[in-house]
Structure 1
Amino acid sequence: MNEFYEAPFKAEHDHVFLGEGHDSNGRKTWAVIALCSAMMLAEIVGGHLFGSLALVADGMHMSTHAGAMLIAALAYTYARKHANDPRFVFGTGKLGDLAGFTSAIILAMIAMLIGYEAIDRLLSPLPIRFGEAIPIAVLGLLVNILSAWLLSGDDHHGHSHGHSHGSDQHGSHDHGEEVQYIETSAGALALSIFEDGVPPVFRIKAERGAAGLSAHDVTVTTVRPDGKRQVFAFAMVADFLQSTVEIPEPHSFEAMVTLADGEHTVSFAEHAHGADEHGVDTRDHNMRAAYIHVIADAAVSVLAIIGLLLAKTFGWLWMDPLAGIVGAMVIANWSYGLIRDTGANLMDISTDDAMAGKVKAAVDAAGDQLIDLHVWRLGPGHFGAVVSVVTEEALRGPDFYHRLLWRLNGLSHITVEVRTLRAA
């Protein structure tokens, strides 16, 4: 018997897969655009008034900087405006990746232009007007430092997951927990690593009618990749069990949970770079691209100042173009990394198996077989999954697996196919 189910069992359901701090990041980007535009106008007007070609040239350079920021800002605005547009089948969460990819291409072009100009100057040195060039480079650095400050900082106001995560279906858990769910003959149990302001410990809590937890009947044995094992005993605290000793770092291991009905195995993975406290990839590549633009410009300014000072002090005119070549190489490297990461998301390439591993562990813990799984990134902090399961339990339909998987933080859209094996 095959059952296919697309819509989740909850009434609330939309496709708003925007990242944490989306609106705040948009406002920051518009603020940087205003700063760069004001600087651009001041340099161009001042250059014409005072007859400084260098000032006009830097003003034109600032216009390209503002243009790159404009791509990021428009992406934030468009993504928010069309977040509920049904024409976007999986929402507008990937617009940030598209904007980041575009910005990365622009960065690569800037790196090539800087490199070409630097090599040309190295082969055909030109006289440098140090009195104008150095102050302009310093001013540009100050503007970039201010822009970086405006773009920096993390917002922690929660995700817009586009789904209701009510306590009636998900249980109640504190922040700082990575949760794995175990199906037992007596009901569901939630095993978590709790580390919110305290040394990391295991916690086990009964869910969906499970009762009769006893500290004497529960142990957890961790098995790390190197084969090292550690056994954890538990004590009753309020309405949950808590391990009596803390869990050593890193938190990447198999956990064998011994209960009255037998042994259950779940997996915990160490949080990846760019992940939140639940190990979910929340990186906003649109903001990352804007920030890299600013930092790249600041790096070029620093190198330019160093090159100009050495050229002025020792007469090494070749130091200025050499600094430009180094700057071009640094920008090209950052551009490559941004193209690689945003391109992977746009092409739905799975670069992190953490979420897929959690889905597999949840299905395995239920005693069923996962025969097909597709997990992809919908936006910062949001993943979609298509799951195909074979079970021998005739009463387990798609709703069972939706309830099971919906607890995984960051899994925002789930499609389930269930195949029930009939007895011969």
Structure 2
Amino acid sequence: MSDQTTFAGHDHIFLRADHERSERRTWWVIWICTAMMILEIVGGSLYGSIALVADGLHMSTHAGALLLAALAYRYARKHAGDPRFSFGTGKFGDLAGFTSAIVLAMIALLIGYEAIRRFFAPVPIDFAEALPIAGLGLVVNVVSALILAGGHDHGHSHGHAHGHGHGHGHGHGHGHGHHHGHAGDDHHHDDETHLVTIGGAAMRLGIFEDGVPPRFRLAAEDGDLPTAAAVTIETIRAGGRRQAFTMTAADGYLESHEEIPEPHEFTAVVAIGDASGAVNFVEHEHAHETTGRDNNMRAAVIHVATDAAVSILVIVGLLLARAFGWRWMDPAVGIVGALVIASWAFGLIRDTGAILLDMTPDRRLAQRLRETIEADGDELADLHLWRLGPGHLGAILSVRTASGLGAADYQRKLARFRSLSHLTVEVHARSA
């Protein structure tokens, strides 16, 4: 291969676009929890209510967990450009989420232990005092959850905004390339239709693959739909490869009989009789929604959501215990609450642990990368795919090829994978 070297620097900031907004929301909830904690501890001490003091101390555990989340946001933001972090600070949120999950698991164990102990050694319950405190705790947690979740998309954002690429090669038959971009909005193939005018008639051509193999769909924008026999579609891909598609009639549209192979990046020529029109399809591949999930915010939301859920269970248990004399309801709902918290903690530990260990975050995306590289007869010899931060993935690919293509050529092939914020391509020459 020719010795062709190009290089352009780029940053390694792999944070969500709403990073600072999430940080501000977390601090707001911390102040709310801290104010409630002080009010309960001071009020309980002045009026001799040990239950109020205990709830204030319990509130302090949530304030501490949220403080961890806020500090993780701040540290990641302050050190986003620190060269000591080779792949940026995007994983600080996952580290904080993992730590919070461990704390949640410990809280679940303590609640479960105390609930089981109370089964065998019941304690007297002051319903007049306990119910208002549980109700107040529920209100605070609901307000906190609304603040934290306000405007949060729960991870449905996918990295697919336009970016830039650069690469550098060596005279040893291999090269490297990088692609860097930022998160944007989501869309689906079946939403990506194109208007094309053929012989004066306006038509809409799209690719539909919602749970079915991908096929063309052609519909009339206005006027009558032509017969299926009168319509043909031909795709023209890079390098001049062509494929013809025949159409079949469906309910209000025409659908191609043949499936559309990956990748969906080509010029489609639609012919109706002697008239024709062309449409350019540029596919943007998206990673799974969990790739864009902010696990730091997720951990903070889980902390207040679990406390809200436990508050509801406690209120129900106290009401039933007071109405029917079922003293066992109090420890029973404690066990249920412990199981709920443990379940959410386990899910958070599993997801954040996988990210911290650099497990492949999206197997479907990894397969799509392989299919794209090997579509023209090249071999993807090695692939490493990992998460750099919410909505950002890193990938290292090793390609064996006899085509003479370089790193920049494979960067262009993979440009449609917009969640790849840091892409390194190594190319090795292979005899034909």
- Under TM normalisation by the shorter chain, which class is it? 0.7 to 0.9
2:352 to 320, 339, 342: 342
Instruction: State yes or no: 1:406 paired with 2:415.
Output: yes
The equivalences for 1:258-297 within 5 A come to 261-263=241-243, 265-266=261-262, 279-280=288-289, 281-297=291-307
For the residue of structure 2 that corresponds to 1:86, the secondary structure is: coil
Q: Distance in 1 between matches of 2:30 and 2:213?
A: 54
Q: Could you list the runs of 5+ residues in structure 1 that have no partner in the other structure?
A: 179-192, 206-214, 238-243, 246-255, 269-275
Q: Distance in 2 between matches of 1:64 and 1:219?
A: 53
Q: Distance in 1 between matches of 2:377 and 2:60?
A: 60
Cα displacement string for residues 171-230 of structure 1 (whole angstroms, at most 9, x for unaligned residues): xxx96545xxxxxxxxxxxxxx2527xxxx4x599xxxxxxxxx99x9979797xxx767
Q: Distance in 2 between matches of 1:219 and 1:132?
A: 63
Query: 1:358 offset after TM fit, Å?
Result: 2.8
For the residue of structure 2 that corresponds to 1:409, the secondary structure is: coil
2:14 to 1, 14, 17: 17
Change (3 A) 1:162 1:348: farther
Match of 1:188 in 2: none
Match of 1:119 in 2: 116
Paired residues, what number? 359
2:425 to 404, 413, 416: 416
Query: 1:161 offset after TM fit, Å?
Result: 8.8
State the superposition RMSD in angstroms: 3.7
Point out the more displaced range, 14-23 or 66-75. 14-23
Structure 1 segments, 4+ long, off by >4 Å, are 1-5, 155-163, 174-178, 218-224, 228-231, 233-237, 256-260, 276-280
The equivalences for 1:37-76 within 5 A come to 37-76=34-73
Cα displacement string for residues 389-415 of structure 1 (whole angstroms, at most 9, x for unaligned residues): 112222x11111122223311100111
1:232 to 204, 207, 216: 216
2:139 to 136, 142, 147: 142
Q: Distance in 1 between matches of 2:236 and 2:326?
A: 72
Instruction: State yes or no: 1:195 paired with 2:191.
Output: yes
The one-letter code of the counterpart of 2:427 is V
Cα displacement string for residues 371-404 of structure 1 (whole angstroms, at most 9, x for unaligned residues): 111111111111011111112222x111111222
Q: Contact (CA 8 Å) 2:393, 2:422: kept in 1 or not? A: yes
Instruction: State yes or no: 1:388 paired with 2:398.
Output: yes
Change (3 A) 1:95 1:163: farther
Q: Distance in 2 between matches of 1:126 and 1:162?
A: 59
The one-letter code of the counterpart of 1:350 is T
Q: Contact (CA 8 Å) 1:141, 1:301: kept in 2 or not? A: yes
Q: Distance in 2 between matches of 1:160 and 1:421?
A: 33
Cα displacement string for residues 266-303 of structure 1 (whole angstroms, at most 9, x for unaligned residues): 168xxxxxxx9764520011111100000100011011
Q: Could you list the runs of 5+ residues in structure 2 that have no partner in the other structure?
A: 166-178, 197-201, 222-226, 229-233, 244-259, 265-284
Query: 1:366 offset after TM fit, Å?
Result: 4.3
1:328 to 338, 362, 376: 338
The one-letter code of the counterpart of 1:318 is W
For the residue of structure 1 that corresponds to 2:417, the secondary structure is: coil
Q: Contact (CA 8 Å) 2:26, 2:69: kept in 1 or not? A: yes
For the residue of structure 2 that corresponds to 1:266, the secondary structure is: coil
Change (3 A) 1:29 1:3: farther
Cα displacement string for residues 134-154 of structure 1 (whole angstroms, at most 9, x for unaligned residues): 000000000000001001133
The equivalences for 1:200-215 within 5 A come to 201=193
TM-score between the two structures when normalised by the length of structure 1: 0.75
Instruction: State yes or no: 1:109 paired with 2:89.
Output: no
The one-letter code of the counterpart of 2:293 is R
Cα displacement string for residues 19-58 of structure 1 (whole angstroms, at most 9, x for unaligned residues): 2411111111111100000000000111111111111110
Query: 1:103 offset after TM fit, Å?
Result: 0.2
Q: Distance in 2 between matches of 1:161 and 1:85?
A: 25
Point out the more displaced range, 357-366 or 18-27. 357-366
Change (3 A) 1:100 1:222: closer
For the residue of structure 1 that corresponds to 2:55, the secondary structure is: helix
Q: Distance in 2 between matches of 1:51 and 1:37?
A: 21
Q: Distance in 2 between matches of 1:131 and 1:221?
A: 61
TM-score between the two structures when normalised by the length of structure 2: 0.74
The one-letter code of the counterpart of 1:412 is S
Q: Contact (CA 8 Å) 2:159, 2:286: kept in 1 or not? A: no
The one-letter code of the counterpart of 1:377 is R
Match of 2:175 in 1: none
Change (3 A) 1:77 1:362: same
The one-letter code of the counterpart of 1:232 is F
Structure ID, larger Rg: 2
